[in-house]
Amino acid sequence: MWVLVRRAIKGSQMTFVPVPASAAGERYGASVYRSEVRASLTALLIGVSATVLTWQVGTWWPQGYGLPYALAGSVGALAGLSAYNLYRRTGWDSSPGERTHAELTPRRPASFARQWVFALPLATALTLILGLVLTGLYSSADENGLHRIYQRRGLSGWGIEDGRVVDVQYNLSSTGPFPGWYYGVPVIISTVLLIIVVYWSLRRIAAAARPTSPGLFHLDTALRSLRTAFVMATSSAALAFQVAGLLAITGNVLRVSHLDAVPTADTFASANTVPVEPGHTLALIAILSSLVVAMAAAILLIKALTVVADLRFAEKKARTSDPWPA
């Protein structure tokens, strides 16, 4: 885990390539990267603000039974990435009379990072959707008809006659909040929307026009790589934050539900409880997994901040570097 933290804090290593004088390196490189820094910071500010606001709605709206809490991560990511895509940036300029060079290499949404960077978050999102479908199938309706509780047959009481346990009774017990259809359907919809917005963001990064000067191609490729890293880090952090919360809630409900009281003939002693397997073990696994996923979400958020730091570093290098002699 410490290795992951170090890699996240360290960020990506980007080698700055000097820009030919004909491309006016200071004007082009510095202004383009400065614009990207502003776009990234704006997206982070809007995303975090939307997440906090959605979280606050959960405290102001008790009738929502915590639904805003479940959606806070997705709402923040959707708002932040939408702002990131719509932010007007400084484009690559060309010197008057400069010849245009065409690049025939195709650029795709997955061209500017390793494949696992895209595959792992996508697999996580699909696993989340599948998990919510399963919890929805196992959920039950509460007194308001909302599928947000978990029911299980458990020991409800017993009688004592002549110092012996008799008349053991079982009944359905309800525990919540449980991520049934009431929470699952909105979260599934928001997760699908997040996948769409991430793909839209990556397509825009890949489809953006190349600079006309070949001397700027290295800078442009590095910029696209950093933009891709920012999109995947922020969206993956929001997704991990959402998964961690749902795992913690599900694990706690299963843990409470899979503890049965042991009948006792001692009227002065409190009944002991025993775990019911495999539900109790699954509950503990879910709770521990939520802690790991929460740490991953924090690391990914740090990664997004290091991308902004890399962009800022590139802007300073472009502003202070001397152009090559003509």
Lowest mean pLDDT among 23-27, 123-127, 170-174, 204-208: 23-27
Q: Please tell me the distance from the alpha carbon of residue 159 to that of residue 155, in angstroms, as a whole number.
A: 12
Distances (CA, A) of 30 to 62, 225, 316: 49, 17, 7
Lowest mean pLDDT among 24-28, 110-114, 117-121, 170-174: 24-28
What three-state secondary structure class fits 89?
Answer: coil
For 105-161, what is each residue's pLDDT tens digit? Answer: 678 888 899 999 999 999 999 999 999 999 999 999 999 999 999 998 877 777 777
Which of the four pLDDT bands, split at 50, 70 and 90, describes residue 99?
low
For 243-271, what is each residue's pLDDT tens digit? Answer: 999 999 999 999 988 888 777 777 666 77
- Tokens for 193, please give them: 């929307």
Q: Is the pLDDT of residue 71 over 60?
A: yes
Indicate the angle between helix axes 217-257 and 67-86, nearest 10 degrees. Answer: 180
Distances (CA, A) of 173 to 156, 258, 274: 8, 10, 16
